[in-house]
Amino acid sequence: MGVRSWIEGWPVYRQLAGDDPTGRGEAVRSPRTAALTSRTETADSVARSVCPYCAVGCGQRVYVSGGRVTQIEGDPDSPISRGRLCPKGAASKSLVTSPRRQRRVLYRRPYGTDWEELDLATAMDMIADRVLAARAQTWEDVDEQGRPLHRTLGIASLGGATLDNEENYLIKKLFTALGALQIENQARI
Amino acid sequence: MAECHPVGFQWVMEAKRRGATVIHIDPRFTRTSALADTYVPIRAGTDIAFLGGVVNYILGNELDFREYVLAYTNAATIVDESYQDTEDLDGLFSGFDPEKGVYDPGSWQYAGHAPDSGDTDADRETARPLRHESHGPPIPAGTERDETLRHPRCVYQILKRHFARYTPEMVERVCGVPREKFLEVCQAWTRNSGRERTSALVYSVGWTQHTVGVQYIRTGAIIQLLLGNVGRPGGGVLALRGHASIQGSTDIPTLFNLLPGYLPMPHHAQHASFSDWVAAIRHPGQKGFWADARAYAVSLLKAYWGDAATAENDYCYGHLPRMTGDHGTYQTVLNMVDGKVKGYFLLGQNPAVGSAHGRAQRLGMANLDWLVVRDLYLVESATFWKDGPEVATGELVPEECRTEVFFLPAASHVEKEGSFTQTQRLLQWREKAVDPPGDCRSELWFVYHLGRIIRQKLAASTLPRDRAVLDLAWDYPVSGQHDEPSATAVLREINGFEVASGEPVSGYTALKDDGSTACGCWIYSGVFAGGVNQAARRRPGAEQSWVAAEWGWAWPMNRRLLYNRASADPSGRPWSPRKAYVWWDAGKGRWTGHDVPDFEADKDPSYRPPLGATGVAAIAGDDPFVMQSDGKGWLYVPTGLIDGPLPTHYEPAESPVANPLYRQQSNPARKTYPRPDNPLDPISAVFPYVFTVSRLTEHHTAGGMSRHLEYLSELQPEMFIEVSPELAAERGLSHLDWAHVVTARAVVEARVMVTDRLTPLRVAGRTIHQIWLPYHWGGAGLSVGDSANDLFGIVLDPNVLIQESKVGTCDLRPGRRPTGPELRRYVDGYLRRAGLRKG
């Protein structure tokens, strides 16, 4: 490396002599930086998504490599968010990839002092049995004047504002058919 | 807005850059205040007094947009002579029944309309006014009007009298806002409204979570109607909602009193038969689009029960469960405490931290047979039996707690496809990026397969109650290794289809009332028009107009701005060129413009309905509010609200001061749950301070999606209390030391942040201190702390049954709170001193 190229490679020189007087662009770019490739460029696929936190509805691009989410960025195409995300939206890759996230079914038996493991299919079957038992124990056919009630007040559900429209639709449809009325979500609070 | 909806706030900053004035009114100085032109600190719970003052300023100075007000609002309509105002009755309207604590609204109606009193108590229990999110309440056709606005019983004059005592001096006395500051807001707002200019009003749960929450928003709506700021670009009353699809879960409700599209869940007495139910929705003779409601109702039942739903069996109406009263989340939790509920599903909600009165929430869950929690992380509502605050106080002993708990891990937003409806009614479809890991599954998977298993188990049942389950149309295509049901198929059902061909309908006007169409949610009809998922449209914002009509899909019918007929004058011309939005093209005989016109496309502005017309035909060519039963924006609400036709300042259920405006202290119709485990402190020196809560930018609601994340927990690592330097001095608190807050329900500790973001206010001749807490914390996660929502009791707005969790009274003490059994004794000591508990 000659003296001249050594001096010209110096960021302060480039900052003073070049087109980047504030030193926030080309002037401070190193060969190492130039050789880097972002995860977004090498992703196998990109899903167009929406931020799961508040209701502004910022667009997200979800980058996937090897079947794993490698990056989530704001979608510049979105006329709502123009590519921006707030601290929560920017942390949403952690939300989905965190090692703290629970990935297995857990079961706490009555009077138990700790969690136990449980197979998902077994859990589903046990829950179905409990729904039917609670419904049978608390079913109300008619009121005191003989008018139809067709319901159970023995089963309640809470939550829906973080879920999809399609999911809310099926929740309401199934619980209504089961006669469960006490179906509520964050919109009530 | 900058704190909780920061990316949305970029548009406020864009407006500011172009010369808009930004005013921020809040009990606490926030990042929004820092960027506003004017910041106005206010006493929590007094916004109606403030906004009422603005109404009085507008009317007193005749600054209303008169042409708009006359043509588009009910200002000229004459009200019945039996109506008496809060001015006449010292804070009550006519018709109050002190025994039941409800109004008979018969005297509030328009003149000449027969009273339709109904059962207001039942309406309050079932939050009936919530139905009006998509449409106004019914009134008979024909109203008496005085276009000169001089008739003493016309709405304009009633409004003027009602708000006359909301003077700048009174605003100062009630809200603690100096009159100069108040007048500055009035002048900016009125100066920036009218033919050439519009102002927008933005609110959030700081308005809704009060015992007078609906009336807060009504007051804002009155101002915006008087100033001509509704249905016009740059105007509006904009609700910023806090969960990704909380609008969607209201439209397609997981709410006890509604069915999709704001159809009422049947009430055992009001809707005993199918025809009662349909008549109650339709109101024969009513004006507007709601007159076609039978088609929406029949199509919903066809979507639910498919081939089993026929004209002969009233489309399986008998399969619907019936309400008998309040089945809302708070009543349900109190029923859990009383052992009346067997099983509980929590689907992405964490009431142990997020709901008011956390102790009741947790003790209720501890008294169930079983609990199913579906979430991404082990939230406090899943682990309350193990490490909740009541375990620490000894009130809950794991070995004695019978609740069986299932924790089922959920799929995240990138591991499933589906649509969210964001805060401006816009549906946006998400593509799936990856499969969910391990046992994680979508709610769609969970509900579909739970239903499938239950139907299998009941397959041989002959019990009448099981017919509704077995008749259910529950045949969704599944795919993949986990048999994931198709969200697209569900969205198609929501959109609606012709039963014979299965073809999607183009919109709700194509729905039929003879069972030939099925539709899961009529207001979403059109989202799959032409067999295309319109919510998945992603034409880049830079490649389309500023309305961006080809990004996602907004209900109804992709209209981005509701009631936008009001953006043109009565003759159909834009009020001004710079505020043009939709207008009448006389040459083509059609409405046109930047957005989908929220009006019949070919209805001439000069159209006048023939005598006796009903439904859509009864809406005149200059009636922009097509979902209102008289086509007008309602300054005065003759029917449909539980607590009065006009907003009135009442003190919060807990307040340190007597109501300076009337002898009536708090909302007389508020929904209360008087019981020993839900004490409220009406007004006592034991709890001298006002407290309020809200969110931080770096955390989300009850923390289930933020306190488990490293970055966010590092950015906001700990629960804290903000107090003013003056209050810190009064109570001997030091910055960063511990302090605790005590209410009639709980005691909560946190680090002290002494900051001038809070300031003492002069209210009714004395100093009122307010403290602020974030409500995100609980015992689980990387960042843990006491839950601020434990401090609140349960008292609700009567119209929609939303709790008052933005204001209460408290004491504040230095140091940490007691622990173990001593903690409850400490709170009980306060209750005794406040006279709320004997002995």
Whether B116 has a pLDDT exceeding 70, the answer reads no
Partner residue opposite B423 with nearest CB, options A52, A56, A87? A56
Residue range B559-579, pLDDT digits in tens: 999 999 999 999 999 999 999
Query: What element of type H or E holds B296?
Result: helix B293-305
Output the six-digit token pair for B118: 């109904």
Question: Partners of B25 in the beta sheet?
Answer: B40
Nearest CA in chain B to A43: B433
| Secondary structure in 3-state letters for B672-709 | ECCCCCCCCCCCCCCCCEEEEEECCCCCCCCCCCCCCC
Question: Partners of A116 in the beta sheet?
Answer: A107
Residue A1: the pLDDT is 60
Q: How far apart are CA B367 and CA A110, in angstroms?
A: 11
Whether B839 has a pLDDT exceeding 70, the answer reads no
Nearest CA in chain A to B381: A158
Residue B492: the pLDDT is 98
Partner residue opposite B349 with nearest CB, options A108, A158, A169? A158
| Cβ proximity of B642 and B793 under 8 Å | no
B239, B261, B286 — which closes off a domain? B239
Q: Does the beta-carbon distance from A49 to B413 stay under 8 Å? A: yes
Residue range B719-751, pLDDT digits in tens: 999 999 999 999 999 999 999 999 999 999 999
Residue B777 lies in a domain: yes
B130-139, B396-405, B421-430, B599-608, range with the lowest pLDDT: B130-139
Q: Does the beta-carbon distance from B803 to A129 stay under 8 Å? A: no
At B684, which CATH number?
2.40.40.20
Q: How far is CA B136 from CA B200, B282, B629, B799, in A?
A: 22, 12, 6, 14
Residue B136 lies in a domain: yes
Q: Does the beta-carbon distance from A102 to B385 stay under 8 Å? A: no
Q: Measured between CA atoms, how close is A34 to chain B, in angstroms?
A: 27
Nearest CA in chain A to B369: A110
Whether B469 has a pLDDT exceeding 70, the answer reads yes
Q: Provide the residue type at B466 as one letter.
A: D
Instruction: Please give the average per-residue pLDDT across B427-447, as a whole number.
Output: 98
At residue B684 the predicted structure's pLDDT band, cuts being 50, 70 and 90, is: confident
Residue B505 lies in a domain: no
Residue range B320-371, pLDDT digits in tens: 999 999 999 999 999 999 999 999 999 999 999 999 999 999 999 999 999 9
Q: How far apart are CA B563 and CA B225, in angstroms?
A: 12
Nearest CA in chain B to A51: B244
Q: How far apart are CA B73 and CA A167, in angstroms?
A: 39
Domain assignment of residue B95, given as a range: 42-239
Helix axes B47-60, B179-191, angle to 10 degrees: 60
Residue B393: the pLDDT is 98
Residue B655 lies in a domain: no
Q: Provide the residue type at B189 as one letter.
A: W
Whether B284 has a pLDDT exceeding 90, the answer reads no
Instruction: Please give the average per-residue pLDDT across B684-697, as a whole number.
Output: 96
Average model confidence (pLDDT) across chain B: 96
Output the six-digit token pair for B395: 């009130």
Nearest CA in chain B to A112: B399
Whether B140 has a pLDDT exceeding 80, the answer reads no
Residue B584 lies in a domain: no
Q: How far apart are CA A4 and CA B671, in angstroms?
A: 81
Residues of A in contact with B344 (CB under 8 A): 155-158
Q: Measured between CA atoms, how close is A177 to chain B, in angstroms?
A: 5
Query: What element of type H or E holds A132?
Result: helix A120-138
Average model confidence (pLDDT) across chain A: 95
Instruction: Please give the average per-residue pLDDT across B459-477, as a whole number.
Output: 98
Q: Does the beta-carbon distance from B324 to A143 stay under 8 Å? A: yes
Nearest to B72 by CA among B232, B246, B202: B232
Nearest to B548 by CA among B419, B428, B420: B428
| Cβ proximity of B220 and B396 under 8 Å | no
Instruction: Please give the average per-residue pLDDT across B740-768, as a whole number.
Output: 97
Residue range A3-52, pLDDT digits in tens: 888 887 788 888 888 888 888 888 888 888 889 998 899 999 999 999 99
- CATH number of this structure's domain A39-97, picked from the four choices 3.40.830.10, 2.20.25.90, 3.40.30.10, 3.40.50.1100: 2.20.25.90
Nearest to B786 by CA among B393, B406, B405: B393
In chain B, pLDDT over 90 holds for what percent of residues? Answer: 92
At residue A2 the predicted structure's pLDDT band, cuts being 50, 70 and 90, is: confident
Whether B629 has a pLDDT exceeding 90, the answer reads no
B173, B207, B239 — which closes off a domain? B239
Q: Measured between CA atoms, how close is A36 to chain B, in angstroms?
A: 24
Dihedral of CA atoms B328, B330, B333, B337 in degrees, nearest 10, equals -130
Residue B117: the pLDDT is 58
Residue B98 lies in a domain: yes
Residues of A in contact with B696 (CB under 8 A): none
Q: Does the beta-carbon distance from B249 to A54 stay under 8 Å? A: no
Q: How far apart are CA A77 and CA A74, in angstroms?
A: 9
A38-42, B493-497, B704-708, B795-799, range with the lowest pLDDT: A38-42
Length of chain B in terms of residues written: 839
Nearest CA in chain A to B255: A184
Q: Does the beta-carbon distance from B8 to A171 stay under 8 Å? A: no
Output the six-digit token pair for B268: 């055992």
Report the number of distinct structural domains present in chain B. 2
Of the CA atoms within 13 Å of residue B569, those in its CB half-sphere come to: 12
Residue range B535-555, pLDDT digits in tens: 999 999 999 999 999 999 999
The number of angstroms, rounded, from the C-alpha of B10 to the middle of its chain's C-alpha atoms is 24
Length of chain A in terms of residues written: 189
Q: Measured between CA atoms, how close is A70 to chain B, in angstroms?
A: 11
Nearest to B756 by CA among B722, B719, B730: B722
Instruction: Please give the average per-residue pLDDT across A157-172, as a whole number.
Output: 98
Output the six-digit token pair for B382: 């899943």
Whether B45 has a pLDDT exceeding 70, the answer reads yes
A76-90, B106-120, B211-225, B728-742, range with the lowest pLDDT: B106-120
- Mutation target to probe the A interface, by most A beta carbons within 10 A, among B416, B447, B493 is B447
Residues of A in contact with B433 (CB under 8 A): 45, 47, 49, 62, 64, 69
Interchain CB contacts (distance < 8 Å): A and B: 475
Would you list the domain boundaries of chain A? 3-35, 39-97, 106-188
Nearest CA in chain B to A141: B465
Q: How far apart are CA B237 and CA B223, in angstroms?
A: 10
Q: Does the beta-carbon distance from A87 to B709 stay under 8 Å? A: no
Residue B285: the pLDDT is 67
Q: How far apart are CA A94 and CA A71, in angstroms?
A: 9
Q: Measured between CA atoms, how close is A22 to chain B, in angstroms?
A: 24
Whether B533 has a pLDDT exceeding 80, the answer reads yes
B239, B270, B293 — which closes off a domain? B239
Residue B774 lies in a domain: yes
Of the CA atoms within 13 Å of residue B667, those in its CB half-sphere come to: 30
Strand B426-430 to strand B418-421: parallel, antiparallel, or no bridges (unpaired)? antiparallel
At B156, which CATH number?
3.40.228.10
Whether B135 has a pLDDT exceeding 80, the answer reads no
Instruction: Give the single-character DSSP code of B398.
Output: G
Residue B232 lies in a domain: yes
Residue A151: the pLDDT is 98
Q: Classify residue B167 as exposed, middle or buried by CB count within 10 Å of its CB (0-12, 13-18, 19+).
A: middle
Q: Classify residue B457 as exposed, middle or buried by CB count within 10 Å of its CB (0-12, 13-18, 19+).
A: middle
Residue range B250-276, pLDDT digits in tens: 999 999 999 999 999 999 999 999 999
